[in-house]
Amino acid sequence: MLQQETQEEIIEEIAGGEFERQPVPRSNWKGWKSFLGMYAGEHAAGTEFVIGPLFLTTGVSAFDLIIGLLLGNFLAVLSWRFLTAEIATKYRLTLYYHLEKLCGPKLVKFYNVANGILFCFLAGSMITVSATAVGVPLDMEMPQLTDSLPTSLTYVVVVLVIGAFITLIAARGYDTVAKAANYMSPVIVLAFLAAGIVALNQLGVSSFSEFWNIWGEGSQPIGNNIKYTFWHVAIWSWFANAAMHIGMSDLSVFRFARKPSAGWTTAAGMYVGHYMAWIAAALLYAVYLRTPEAQAVLNAGDAPTVAPGPLAFNAIGWFGIIAVVLAGWTTANPTIYRAGLAFQTLLPAKRASAAVGVVLAGGIATAAGLFPAFAMKLLDFVALYGFILAPVGAVIVFQHFFAASAGELPDYEARTGRGYNPAVFWAWAISFGIFYFISVQFDVFLSFVTLPAWLLCGILYLVFSRRGQDAVLD
């Protein structure tokens, strides 16, 4: 009877096509083109319309921005290729099932809740971005940098409609998410390029030196933002997606790849999205800063609003509106999909489909989208969620590359009969506690301590596991 139930579960999972609790079979492996479109669409997307302008509010210089982004994005691509894709194509498991084998089902549930909620908040910020575009023809009151609550009833309705639509797409599974990105990404990339060119013309730029002088030697930060240097830009851009690469969240994506070399496709996202698109969006904001409206806000000592919809509309009209809406979708879709896989592991009996988890994630993301603070404080939020989630990925990386049993993924619960692995918990808790304290106590930029926390977590995990500390730490 038990064997029959197990077989039914396997058949049910295969029929669903998401393979949440088994390796992805060869028949479902995908070529590099599936990932190229997805990463280009996800990272030339809604976040870029916010992050680019926010770089201007930090007073960054031309050299620090342009060269810092080159280095930071290159390091991110290397992390995806040689860590995430390498491990994903070996085991072909979702992050959540992979962690369950290392941590035990009890501990991984806490991680999945934190992971899913943080991804929902990120997706919610992208729903906010799309809402600023839909709101342009509706004459909607746009959220300001200092706004935390919904700005109007129109804003609430727009967010709810967009959130429902995005959730519907994400709930249809990975294939639909990838196809949506493939269809939308060329339009979005073209829009960013066109907007950047139009903005350069509006700024009167006719040479590289004039382009360079838009940032020049930098300026004082606007509002309450800190001053960004070369290392702020480089390290922040490396770890902007720390949860996805060194945090191993994209195991859930690259488990479908035929080869680890599919990891190189992330360069499309980094250099089209996190380079060209960030700079293009910054140029749009530079145009807005010269308007009388923005100058009046600056003279009052505040930071002018960063509303992607109006910025894009002022540059390229209705094409800009369409691009911002699509950009929000292509970021929120895979983000809600990842969060849905996390929540699916919490649902009873392991029989609930991934779609149920995705719908739950979409509801939380839509609720988060009602609060503009997640989008308006995106630089700080992205640094925080990467710092929280990335160290857990070190457990997977150090297990794979340095543990004695790297040839086979151990199953902690099956081996010990215990539901949670204290070596994992204490490795994360100690590394997180030490470096978060350093960041707060000594006012250290949070992204600067992400890598040290990640390394310490991996080392502590090996030490606690190899020295048989489980019984002591439990």
Q: How far apart are the first and last CA of the chain?
A: 35
397 domain-assigned? no
Contacts of 8 by beta carbon, 8 Å cutoff, 6+ apart:
none
When the pLDDT of each residue in the chain is averaged and rounded to a whole number, the result is 82
The per-residue pLDDT for 176 is: 64
- Among 45-49, 88-92, 269-273, which is the least confidently predicted range? 45-49
Angle between helices 174-202 and 278-289 (to 10 degrees): 40
What is the number of structural domains in the chain?
1
Q: What is the DSSP code (8-state) at residue 446?
A: G
Buried b (16+ CB within 10 A) or exposed e, 304-320: bbbbbbbbbbbbbeebb
Secondary structure of residue 257 in the 3-state scheme:
strand
pLDDT category, 429, cuts 50, 70, 90? Answer: very high
Query: Residues 131-167: pLDDT tens digits?
Result: 888 888 887 877 766 667 777 888 888 889 988 887 8
Secondary structure of residue 30 in the 3-state scheme:
strand
CATH code for position 140: 1.10.4160.10
Give the residues across from 30 on adjacent strands: 257
Distance of CA 182 to the CA centre of its chain: 18
C-beta of residue 214 within 8 angstroms of C-beta of residue 283: yes
C-beta of residue 235 within 8 angstroms of C-beta of residue 53: no
C-beta of residue 56 within 8 angstroms of C-beta of residue 285: yes
384 domain-assigned? no
Q: Give yes or no for residue 349 having a pLDDT over 60.
A: no
- Phi, psi for residue 228 in degrees, rounded to 5: -95, 135
With tokens 């809402």, the residue in question is 131
Full-model pTM: 0.82
Alpha-carbon distance of 327 to 123, in angstroms, equals 12
413 domain-assigned? no
* Residue 74, CA atoms < 13 Å, CB-side half-sphere: 7
171 domain-assigned? yes
210 domain-assigned? yes
C-beta of residue 48 within 8 angstroms of C-beta of residue 284: no
Q: What is the per-residue DSSP string for 51-106?
A: HHHHHHHTT--HHHHHHHHHHHHHHHHHHIIIIIHHHHHHH---HHHHHHHHH-HH
Task: Print the domain residue range for 193.
Answer: 43-379
Secondary structure of residue 228 in the 3-state scheme:
coil
Give the residues across from 257 on adjacent strands: 30
pLDDT category, 174, cuts 50, 70, 90? Answer: low
C-beta of residue 46 within 8 angstroms of C-beta of residue 129: yes
23 domain-assigned? no
Query: Residues 285-334: pLDDT tens digits?
Result: 888 888 888 788 777 767 777 778 888 888 888 888 888 887 777 777 77
83 domain-assigned? yes
469 domain-assigned? no
Query: Residues 186-236: pLDDT tens digits?
Result: 888 888 899 899 999 999 998 999 999 989 887 888 767 788 999 999 999
